[in-house]
Structure 1
């Protein structure tokens, strides 16, 4: 059910509260503003299946645009606001956006605007900038003016759309994950993801959901959608701060929240007199996902917050889901839960053969609904399918094993993925960028364990002949800052005379020194 039901019932109830300013977006305002934006898009020929991109910091307009796209039958892509201008523009172009909403508060907004002039409907959030920056926004409409001029009349039929978020690219180019098509209307209640979250975690009209993460991630965006569909209130943090998160739980009597392990670690690192001074007893459900959580961290959180800690294992592709509660996690440290809630797990060997309990292999989910597709990438889509069950079994490349009771454990990743504070980072993308630098003859990027972020990327660099190491690390970081998002830039650089490669040129990363024992 979309927010319109709750706007009719209680239009003044807060749908969204911004944690920093305490600004409120009511259900009545969310209904009116999302409807006006949707009607504007319709007036421009926007139809079911058309794509809309949004790039902004955490703010009301992301959520308004989400519901506007959903109620037109559109496909919405929220772009990571920490990407470089070139990375952002690639996604906007690749998703075939017919409309693009861009916050002018982002430092790189002018660069992004200049590179996205091909989008036919361009809307800037906030007023058009002054001075030289204004030139980049030639032909852009202002968001408030668009809403003010749009109709507030609700159409008789509003087909329901979906999101298409982007996975991190293993070779430098992320791909959109296109959901299966449906014939749902916006007011339909039988929306599988929302129904699943509602039944698993008890989202209802009394829910107060704290969102401490960026809204461009799949989990926060979809939990916001779930909360609003049930008439609950969302409290949005513009950025995560450990003590502030605890203060917000107490202040707003937060019942539900979703975290990545890095956030849990930072809260646990607060001095006891600080973290224990806040009342978190209102919490009913604290979900964590996105990255492996050290068992000792989970145990400490359960001891602190009680048995309200839940974990799920899934992917942006939504091809399957495992869940585990607090008691199960204490009994089976390291497990990410059992299957059967959404999809059945199959652990398979190199030829697709199914492996017995305890053996590590590729994790496939057997789905009962339509499988995802990678947008405009049939080869990657085909590679995600099981060789003998292509219509129903899919994988994202993760590896793991099942125990005798079908609890899943993650082992390693076939794609070489690192998870930095809950964000996917692929070494290949970083290596590709560094390979273009003249001073670098060869490079390898690996993940190094980090107490706070889980993993951080580090680089082994073979410099071009004749170059000295002094000052090179700082120069490389500066060079990368215009090419990669900050969280992708290696934290440490180790200079080596030669990288281990086979006679055929294949890099053998297992022969690299262990970065855990090297000095920064």
Structure 2
């Protein structure tokens, strides 16, 4: 079938994917007519549909779909009864990939409140910014995050709740005390509309501080059901069609979650999609390729999605251990572009798995562009094609006019999955979303086959192993040091992480700080992954462009050239 025929066939034969239209924020969009109205319904539907099948696995702990649903209900009621959380209230969650993180997100959503999962690598200063910006009065945190937030909680009267290895503050209950408080486990009596907010996720933009991206229930569910539909379409459009699996060899879906659940790749495309598909979701607290191989074998994992570094390390470790990992049916990528050479290597190493990649944004609930299987092997540089059936995409020039095939312009997306707004930033929202179209800041082109290629970024963003880093934020932290006159931050190509952070720094006369001293200073102001891996210190001014702004491209070229002349070449693009 053609993609259009496959889409029409599935929409006509499966009521879940029937389409209608809805007006959202004054703009008309195609939407799924019969999708769950909100995330609580998605969870309610999963429990009876998948019975006692494991839904969530963490180390030696397991929750069936029914048990997960029951814990979510109890925590939702505790949020309301013990902590006074009401519909629309923000609730912050600061932790690594513990099972309490997704359970809390679902419980907050079930109450009609707004979950704010915070970047677990943020410094105390960054956490303070996020908590102040979102206005949360209740915060759940594991040990390291709890320690960073304690002073802020005391000064601002926040209800800081200890999770796992955190030591509870006097008079504050722990998570398990709230969960086990003996309340009935009926769903909270609230009415949730499809376009109510369900979460705020923070994403580094081109400005100094992260932006809070406000996402709705309909937006998240639109993304989830689009991915499920794309999976159903794949065998219908394959040429030749894949052989039907033998009934006794069909594996139940089982996903390994290796990226942080405070990002859309793990939360939306893995966890929420997995719930809707009846998958078993196995969480990793932190990435360890040998542990990943062990879990894939033990849990019979069918789907692995990680940043390119992780899939490369999984491949190398499996080879070193002599493991075929033949339960894997799909190896996806997200967060950063996979090196083209890695695509064929993965396909050779895991012949039974479809190698795939995607492009998406926090602002789109991770929905966007997909490519996989032979198409990806044949076009490893491509981002792929728009995920059906809700999205429209255009590549436009500076005047908003669509460019011709093959020409480069800015990628724009119109979809019910798009964010509602940036929190507390109406000007940034108006600049990014115009008449329903989200201007992504990514420069792209489309070829004659309909494949989209992401070629550059308009915004000053570094993507280090899947983590977005705003150049201006790092520059702002460098300028806090008394010996720094000026700083310019830029990406350096890196074989393992894709990009790492570099900075050229003009020091003031008489300055005595060195590279290690500046990096140590930055540790008090930035998450570790944002601290420049390389610093070039200089006494002369940084190069400037025609508008008198720092010319990052010229600065980067100067710094890399200086290394080459000194006999320490950098992996230049």
Q: Same fold (TM over 0.5)?
A: yes
Partner residue, 1:230: 277
What RMSD over aligned residues (CA atoms) do the two structures have, in Å? 2.6
Listed as ranges, the matches of 1:34-53 within 5 Å are: 34-43=72-81, 44-53=83-92
**Structure with larger RCO (C-alpha < 8 A, sep 6+):** 2
Cα shift at 1:163: 2.4
Partner Cα separation in structure 2 for residue 365 and residue 229 of structure 1: 25
- Give the TM-score of the pair, scaled to structure 1: 0.88
Unpaired segments ≥5 residues, structure 2: 1-40, 234-249
TM-fit CA distance, 1:157: 4.7
Residues 296-332 of structure 1, C-alpha deviation per residue, up to 9 Å, x if partnerless? Answer: 0111111111351121111011175111112111222
Q: 1:206 to 1:158 in 2, by over 3 A?
A: farther
Equivalent pair of 2:153/2:159 in contact (CA under 8 Å): no
Partner of 1:473: 515
**Structure 2 residue aligned with 1:193:** 223
Are 1:214 and 2:260 matched, yes or no? yes
Partner of 1:510: 553
For the Cα contact (< 8 Å) 2:92–2:117, is it kept in 1?
yes
Note the C-alpha offset of 1:421: 0.3
For the residue of structure 1 that corresponds to 2:202, the secondary structure is coil
Residue 491 in 1 paired to residue 537 in 2?
no
Match of 1:264 in 2: 311
Distance in 2, Cα, partners of 1:66 & 1:328:
36
Q: Quote the Cα distance in structure 1 between the aligned partners of 2:165 and 2:282.
A: 25
Higher mean displacement: 311-320 or 194-203: 194-203
Pairing 1:286–2:327 present: no
Q: What residue number does 1:382 align with?
A: 430
Q: Which moved more, 1:291-300 or 1:22-31?
A: 22-31
Q: Distance in 1 between matches of 2:497 and 2:261?
A: 19
Residue 127 (structure 1) shift: 7.3
| Residue 445 (1) aligns with residue 489 (2) | yes
Q: How does 1:169-180 map to 2 (within 5 A)?
A: 169-180=205-216
Q: Give the alignment partner of residue 408 of structure 1, picking from 452, 457, 460.
A: 452
| 1:16 pairs with 2:56 | yes
Aligned to 2:404: 356
Residue 432, structure 1, aligned to residue 456, structure 2: no
The CA deviation at 1:370 is: 6.4
How far apart are residue 80 of structure 1 and its match? 1.0
Distance 1:138 1:174, change over 3 A: farther
**Aligned counterparts of 2:109 and 2:555: Cα–Cα separation in 1:** 48
SS at 2:511 equivalent: coil
- Change in Cα spacing, 1:369 to 1:172, as seen in structure 2 (3 Å) is closer
Residue in structure 2 matched with residue 316 of structure 1 by the alignment: 362
The corresponding residue for 1:26 is 64
Question: What is the Cα deviation at residue 497 of structure 1?
Answer: 3.0
Deviations 1:334-364 (A, max 9, x none): 1111125242221111222221111111111
Q: What residue ranges of structure 1 are gaps of 5+ in the alignment?
A: 185-189
Q: State the Cα distance separating 1:181 from its structure 2 match.
A: 6.5
Matched, 1:153 2:185: yes
Does the 8 A contact of 2:206 with 2:459 survive in 1?
Answer: yes
The alignment partner of 1:149 has SS state of coil
Bigger helix fraction = 2
Going from structure 1 to structure 2, the CA distance change for 1:480 and 1:416 (only over 3 Å counts) comes to same
Alignment counterpart, residue 60 of structure 1, candidates 93, 99, 109 = 99
Aligned to 1:304: 349
Q: Which residue of 1 aligns with 2:174?
A: 142
- Paired position in structure 2 for 1:187: none
In structure 1, C-alpha distance between the alignment counterparts of 2:297 and 2:57, rounded to whole Å: 15
Task: Show CA shifts across 1:136-165 (max 9, x none).
Answer: x34532212212225223147554562221
Aligned residues: 496
Distance 1:71 1:164 in 2: 15
Structure 1 range deviating more: 43-52 or 53-62: 43-52
Report if aligned partners of 2:382, 2:454 keep a CA contact under 8 Å in 1: yes
- Give distance in 1, aligned partners of 2:160 and 2:277: 32
